[in-house]
Amino acid sequence: MKPFKQMTILGVGLIGASLAQACAQRKLVARIVGFGRNADNLKKAEKLNIIDAGSTDMKTAVAGSDLVVLCTPVGSLVERVREMIPFLQDGCIITDTGSVKGTLVQEIDALITDRIHYVGAHPIAGGEQSGMDASSPDLLTGAKCIITPTANTQAQALERITAFWDAVGMHTLAMNPEEHDTIFGALSHLPHIVAYALMNTVAEVKTEHHNGILPMSGNGLKDITRIASSDPVMWRDICLYNKRPVVKLINQFQESLENIKILIEQDQAVALQETFANANLNRGKLVENNK
């Protein structure tokens, strides 16, 4: 891949800082500028050599960059793109790291003019941690990165951005934005919502002699709720941006759970065991697929 001259990273958090370190290590960009609202965080990133320079001013941050990577929460992205466009140099390519694509990609596409380009991307990495302190040059290595071109995507920009994410060390896979949103709505958004709801339900349970029951928990609950420690702002934005697929998936999950409840209520031992055995089999496939 021909290196970029200068990359601006919007949001020097877990993903932004990890990407910056991977790009430096792999010499994919000559210079890295960080943009963020928190000047102290940018100063710290500069001191740690994660970025070459940082700015809270958009014009300063994107001036001279031929690549801009959006790493801030999904809810702020469209606003940020609108803000930066007047200051972008001709030919600049924007890519992003948002966990939702459909509506978001449409909204950004609508802002794009002939002199700049946008290619949507979703690196499948992260976890329940957040912030620069949890970043690492290897966070993205070996993980999948979904690229979501549309009819508006310029072929050359698509090629360049795909090569970029490949060079970062990720396995790129192209997909239309709507398909992406259903797939990751199911694989990621729904599990997060379920973990949040479960955590709140269990925390509220009280009995005659126990005002709270969390101290008595074994490890099962801790594991299943790990992703309930994820950043609330990030997940609020993801749920609202991916509303239609997420609501549909919640409905499907509710149906699956309601069926189990009915089998329990009606003492349908055989069907209940079959349902659990089926889940068992599916989990086996999931583990097999992710070795």
Instruction: Write down the least CB distance from residue 29 to a copy of itself, Å.
Output: 25
φ/ψ of 85, rounded to 5, equals -50, -45
State both tokens at 2: 């021909």
Cβ–Cβ < 8 Å for 19, 69:
yes
Please identify, using beta-carbon distances, which residue of 81 and 146 lies nearer to a copy of itself: 146
Please identify, using beta-carbon distances, which residue of 56 and 259 lies nearer to a copy of itself: 259
Cβ–Cβ < 8 Å for 41, 47:
no
Instruction: Write down the least CB distance from residue 28 to a copy of itself, Å.
Output: 23
Please identify, using beta-carbon distances, which residue of 6 and 188 lies nearer to a copy of itself: 188
Please identify, using beta-carbon distances, which residue of 117 and 192 lies nearer to a copy of itself: 192
Instruction: Write down the least CB distance from residue 51 to a copy of itself, Å.
Output: 26
* 170: nearest Cα among 236, 133, 123, 100: 123
Instruction: Write down the least CB distance from residue 259 to a copy of itself, Å.
Output: 8
Instruction: Write down the least CB distance from residue 255 to a copy of itself, Å.
Output: 8
Cβ–Cβ < 8 Å for 22, 137:
yes
* Residues forming a β-bridge with 94: 68, 118
Residue 216 amino acid letter: M
CA gap 146, 187 in Å, rounded: 13
Which residues, in sequence order, are CB contacts of 184 under 8 Å at separation 6+?
99, 100, 122, 124, 146
Please identify, using beta-carbon distances, which residue of 25 and 254 lies nearer to a copy of itself: 254
